């Protein structure tokens, strides 16, 4: 199988923000025009991606999604994306949870005949709506999954085989990608659902879907190996190095032996979600040490054929997307922000040089400063005193101001000038957060209004993460986290 370097833009309703397309609420801001999408596709192609992936979110994966204006418009615009991608030789991939549907994220039960009928109907209808899809991914959950009526990970596997055949009957040119996400198979048989449950999403029980049990993992992976031949020809399997949210191959959660076994008959790839930006921690990211190390670990582990580069902020974290594509194209490329010895430019310097010319390359040295907040998949360390950090951020503010007018023309979305101004916003914010006597309330409001204000216009969402993420970013700077500040200083005393 050709290497899949997958640009995965997750624009689900709990990940809305100013830097993500709003595909769900026509009356709210951050809608993208077809021209926006085409420019995005052109940029992704220029970075070296070979696949564009999107999640058909539960809000659309339901009758209402099929029959509403927002659902029809979604399908129309995704077909525009598919056409543009094809012009660059890229394929588009849809992923959807096997059975999680509707704006309230309810999971239907394949062991209830009427609900199984409905699941098949939704897959059948949606695969007809997007006739030129290149790849269709079947996902266990997160959110959602079923433990009712005897459902287990084996149920998920067996019913995915059935769905895969419905999909390829409608889309003979498409390939199936089967997902093992979770410990493995997120939530199937291990999600706690109260006795009165009808499959409703309940935030307070979602963590149980990550409960690892070696016997369950062995049993379900053995079952998958038995069923692989029943999937359509060419089905790929997405399996991370480890059966945990960070994909780390630790102890009993080491998935590498299973990956090697699957690779004997089917192409494998990773779906390592936490490498680039986690979820809801919105600022300019620089998490490339772990990203490139993970690529090296994959090379050593099994014959992987690529994987995803996740973003929920395509209008802000273009550098992450560029680095992530390069991590697959050249896993030995240099992720550091400095000039490398043999004269090759490190990836970040090349990125900024293409945008702003030689002076812009210096930006690469400042970008790691943003990455000081511990987060999913990111084990941050702070090496500066507060005063040093503040001074560096002020220097970044000056550099970004100096770069005004030096933008070059390159496939980029949005335009390079807008990107420069966004970096300037965050540099100023982080400078103010680390400066003397911050006005925390005003800074919190400044961040919220720039990033998450769309939630002020939505009814109470099922997922509280945007507010929590904002609070924790502000709270991070309020704590004694910098060098020389005592408590919490352990990792930074160097």
Binding residues for Zn ion, rule: CB under 5 A, are 109, 111, 146, 148-149, 151
SS (H, E, C) 272-322: CCCCCCCCCCCCCCCCHHHHHHHHHHHHHHCCEEEEEEEECCCCCCHHHHH
CB 188, min distance to Zn ion, A: 8
Cα-based distances in Å from 106 to 12, 127, 387, 396, 468: 15, 21, 49, 46, 23
CB 159, min distance to Zn ion, A: 10
Which CB sits closer to Zn ion, 68 or 197? 197
CB 138, min distance to Zn ion, A: 16
Which CB sits closer to Zn ion, 148 or 413? 148
Question: Which residue, 122, 54, 13, 49, is CA-closest to 326?
Answer: 49
Contact of 58 with 98, CB cutoff 8 Å:
no
CB 146, min distance to Zn ion, A: 3
Cα-based distances in Å from 396 to 365, 373, 426, 450: 9, 18, 10, 20
Cα-based distances in Å from 306 to 52, 171, 278: 13, 23, 19
State the Cα–Cα distance between residues 257 and 153, nearest whole angstrom. Answer: 19
CB 112, min distance to Zn ion, A: 7
CB 168, min distance to Zn ion, A: 24
Residue 324 is encoded by which pair of tokens?
Answer: 């992530």
Which CB sits closer to Zn ion, 156 or 243? 156
HSE-CB for 402 with a 13 A CA cutoff = 13
Which CB sits closer to Zn ion, 149 or 401? 149
CB 106, min distance to Zn ion, A: 12
State the Cα–Cα distance between residues 270 and 258, nearest whole angstrom. Answer: 13
Which CB sits closer to Zn ion, 138 or 372? 138
Which CB sits closer to Zn ion, 112 or 453? 112
CB 484, min distance to Zn ion, A: 55
Which CB sits closer to Zn ion, 158 or 261? 158
State the Cα–Cα distance between residues 370 and 282, nearest whole angstrom. Answer: 10
Which CB sits closer to Zn ion, 97 or 247? 97
φ and ψ at 126, to 5 degrees?
-70, -35
The sign one gets for the Cα dihedral 125, 129, 134, 137 is negative
Query: How would DSSP label each residue in 76-91?
Result: HHHHHHHHHHHHTT-E
């Amino acid at each position: 199988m050709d290497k899949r370097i997958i640009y995965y833009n997750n624009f689900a309703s709990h990940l809305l923000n100013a830097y993500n397309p709003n595909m769900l609420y026509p009356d709210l801001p951050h809608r993208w025009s077809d021209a926006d999408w085409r420019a995005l596709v052109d940029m992704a192609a220029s970075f070296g991606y070979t696949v564009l992936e999107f999640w058909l979110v539960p809000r659309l994966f339901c009758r209402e999604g099929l029959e509403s204006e927002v659902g029809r418009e979604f399908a129309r615009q995704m077909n525009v994306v598919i056409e543009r991608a094809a012009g660059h030789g890229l394929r588009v991939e849809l992923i959807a949870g096997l059975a999680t549907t509707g704006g309230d994220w309810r999971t239907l039960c394949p062991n209830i005949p009427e609900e199984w009928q409905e699941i098949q109907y939704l897959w059948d209808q949606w695969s007809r709506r997007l006739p030129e899809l290149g790849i269709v991914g079947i996902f266990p959950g997160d959110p959602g999954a079923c433990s009712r009526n005897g459902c287990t990970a084996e149920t998920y596997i067996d019913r995915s085989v059935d769905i895969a055949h419905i999909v390829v009957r409608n889309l003979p040119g498409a390939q199936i990608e089967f997902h093992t996400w979770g410990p493995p198979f997120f939530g199937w048989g291990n999600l706690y659902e109260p006795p009165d449950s009808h499959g409703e999403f309940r935030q307070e029980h979602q963590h149980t879907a990550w409960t690892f049990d070696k016997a369950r993992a062995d049993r379900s992976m053995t079952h998958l190996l038995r069923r692989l031949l029943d999937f359509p020809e060419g089905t790929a399997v997405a399996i991370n190095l480890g059966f945990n949210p960070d994909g780390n191959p630790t102890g009993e959660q080491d998935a590498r032996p299973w990956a090697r076994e699957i690779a004997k008959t089917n192409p494998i790839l990773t779906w390592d979600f936490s490498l680039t930006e986690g979820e809801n921690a919105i600022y300019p990211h620089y998490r490339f040490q772990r990203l490139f190390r993970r690529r090296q670990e994959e090379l050593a582990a099994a014959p992987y054929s690529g994987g995803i580069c996740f973003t929920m902020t395509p209008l802000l974290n273009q550098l992450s997307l560029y680095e992530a594509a390069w991590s697959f194209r050249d896993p030995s490329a240099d992720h550091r922000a400095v000039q490398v010895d043999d004269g090759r430019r490190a990836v970040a310097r090349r990125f900024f040089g293409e945008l702003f010319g030689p002076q812009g390359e210096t930006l690469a040295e400042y970008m790691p400063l943003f990455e000081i907040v511990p987060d999913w998949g990111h084990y941050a360390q702070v090496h500066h005193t507060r005063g040093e950090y503040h001074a560096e951020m002020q220097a970044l503010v000056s550099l970004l101001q100096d770069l005004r007018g030096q933008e070059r023309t390159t496939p980029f979305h949005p335009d390079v000038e807008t990107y420069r101004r966004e970096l300037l916003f965050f540099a100023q914010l982080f400078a103010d957060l680390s400066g003397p006597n911050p006005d925390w309330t005003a800074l919190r409001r400044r961040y919220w209004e720039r990033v998450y204000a769309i939630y002020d216009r939505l009814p109470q969402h099922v997922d509280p993460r945007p507010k929590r993420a904002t609070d924790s970013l502000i709270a991070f700077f309020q704590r004694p986290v910098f060098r020389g500040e005592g408590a919490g200083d352990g990792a930074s005393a160097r």
